[in-house]
Amino acid sequence: MAERKRQAWGSKLGIIMAVAGSAVGLGNFLRFPVQAAQNGGGAFMIPYFISLLLLGIPLMWVEWALGRYGGGFGHGTAPGIFHSVWRKNRFIKYFGVIGIFGPLAILIYYTYIESWTLAYSFFALTGKYAGATSQSQMQSFLGAFQGLEKNEYFNSMQPAYVFFLITFALNIFVIYYGIKGGIEKLCRFAMPALFLFAGFIAVRVLTLGVPDISHPDWSSLNGLGFLWNPDLSTLKDPKVWLAASGQTFFTLSVGIGVILTYASYLKKTDDVTLSGLTAVSMNEFAEVILGGSIVITASYVFFGPVGAQDVAKSGAFNLSFVTMPLIFEKIPLGAVFGFLWFMMLFLAGITSSLSLSQPAIAFLEDEFDISRKKAVTIFGAATFVLCQPSIFLLSRGTVNELDFWGGTFCLVLFATIETILFTWVFGIDKAWEEMHHGAELRIPRIYKFIMRFVTPVFLIAILGSFFISKDGRDNILMANVSEADRPYVLGTRLMLVLMIAVLSIMVRIAWKKSERSGKEGISR
């Protein structure tokens, strides 16, 4: 059998930066502080860290080890990796379709939102939104930019579409040059720059004076207290625990399938235990230390405790594109800090969107044996078309629908399947041995029990809550969707079903082709 040469990472630092880049995204700086502020402040960190220890870190190790194992057989995506683990089951590869579908469903709306951050970094330097000095004016600016209204700021969504094209082209340009020459090279630059920008902003926020002398208690120190002082009574609320476990998923990019793909380019003897934990640590520093120090603290300084609470309730979009620009307008060198804020978000966004792109491209390369150039061309054409509903139907619930199915439901479902597959079907003893090939860190033995019993039960409980909870049922039954938007939401669901069907058919074709040729990929 002729051996196919797969791509590989250039260095251990490169893979750590890439996985950290996948994990560190918009949610670290926007979603996390909002979740913490709304769910008991410092008390939120109790279920958050419990979820991290019992769910996030075990899943990270599972995905690193599974990905490296499947990569040894020439598979870089979940269908092939699942098949490598359970060859006797001819259906398991179809469950792996979720690991390609999920990233695609997220990517086709995430890229557009990512482009807003690039646009706003440009607007900050050019003073485009400087005339919007109130919350209502800044919301009008955002709405006009998105094409939801016309006013003195924008009379069409052409500027937004131009920035989308630039952002989309940048993503395609980077992935065209592959794992080492494209993704790794960008992440080695983008991640240090991201941490540097976030550090500058955090220091500036924490050294703010008291701008309103009539409220001397509106200080950055009290702002930190507002976010971190624990309300222990909230721990009795199941919603807080659900929110904490959900945030763990979102923040680490586990359960999506991208870490499987990234880890598939490792060698058999490459470490996964210490590297995985290092990537987790970088993400937690970005989220808890930096993300927890900026937006809510700044909002407290300028708007007080009531205003900060309102900001937390307004959602991540308003927080980033309405509240933060208003805050930066009130401080010296606000345009510079505005640029750093939005460029930081853009770097967080593009390192994440690159990781979301790679599973589909790896699937084309590995299972259809086509060149990187052709795979990227096919991927670029398909995703460009799929992105359009998120752009032109933004106000019709399309993005919310994509986020629920791709970024929430499928994420938990996929994590449940891969954990059971690795610890029960593959076997916890073999899994433990696989994780420790070339390991530079011995995992505490208690995690044998956690990975086999606690993590799967935790995941099944979260999955069940989607169907039991009112929010989950409302999402599935479209209870909160207006009659005018229902056709668009149903159209989005039809598009998602077609995506799954096409991917499943492609998996079948790839395996039929493999069976005819008698190939099983690269042997270990």
pLDDT in tens, 126-185: 999 998 999 899 999 999 999 999 999 999 999 999 999 999 999 999 999 999 999 999
At 451, the pLDDT band (50, 70, 90 cuts) reads very high
Predicted pLDDT at 333: 92
- Into how many domains does the chain fold? 1
**For range 294-308, the mean pLDDT:** 88
Check whether 86 has a pLDDT greater than 90.
yes
User: How far from each other are the two terminal CA atoms of the chain, in whole angstroms?
Assistant: 13
pLDDT in tens, 219-230: 898 889 888 888
**Domain-embedded: residue 139:** yes
At 315, the pLDDT band (50, 70, 90 cuts) reads confident
Q: Which two tokens stand for residue 405?
A: 């199915």
Radius of gyration of the chain (CA): 23
**Domain-embedded: residue 389:** yes
> What phi and psi, each to the nearest 5 degrees, are found at residue 315?
100, 165
Share of the chain above pLDDT 70, in %: 98
- Domain holding 71, by residue range, is 12-517
**DSSP per-residue letters across 455-469:** HHHHHHHHHHHHHHS
Question: Is the dihedral angle over the CA atoms 162, 166, 264, 262 positive or is it negative?
Answer: negative
**Domain-embedded: residue 491:** yes
CA distances from 195 to 139, 198, 311, 426, 469 (A): 28, 5, 24, 38, 37
CA distances from 321 to 85, 219, 423 (A): 45, 23, 43
Cα–Cα distance between 359 and 62 in angstroms, integer? 17
pTM (2 decimals)?
Answer: 0.94
Q: What angle do CA 469, 472, 476 make, to 5 degrees?
A: 140
Helix residue ranges, H only, 24-89: 26-29, 31-38, 45-51, 57-71, 78-85
> What phi and psi, each to the nearest 5 degrees, are found at residue 270?
-70, 140
Cα–Cα distance between 476 and 495 in angstroms, integer? 16
Q: Which two tokens stand for residue 325?
A: 């620009």
**Domain-embedded: residue 155:** yes
**Domain-embedded: residue 166:** yes
Check whether 523 has a pLDDT greater than 90.
no
Predicted pLDDT at 172: 98
Q: Are 431 and 421 in contact (CB under 8 A)?
A: no
Cα–Cα distance between 142 and 214 in angstroms, integer? 31
**For range 106-134, the mean pLDDT:** 95
Cα–Cα distance between 361 and 376 in angstroms, integer? 6
Q: Are 291 and 33 in contact (CB under 8 A)?
A: yes
When the pLDDT of each residue in the chain is averaged and rounded to a whole number, the result is 91
**For range 282-289, the mean pLDDT:** 93
Cα–Cα distance between 26 and 112 in angstroms, integer? 13
**Domain-embedded: residue 4:** no
Predicted pLDDT at 2: 43
At 524, the pLDDT band (50, 70, 90 cuts) reads very low
At 520, the pLDDT band (50, 70, 90 cuts) reads low
Q: How many Cβ atoms sit within 10 Å of the Cβ of residue 268?
A: 12
- In CATH, what number is assigned to the domain containing residue 213? 1.20.1740
At 4, the pLDDT band (50, 70, 90 cuts) reads low
Q: Are 343 and 161 in contact (CB under 8 A)?
A: no
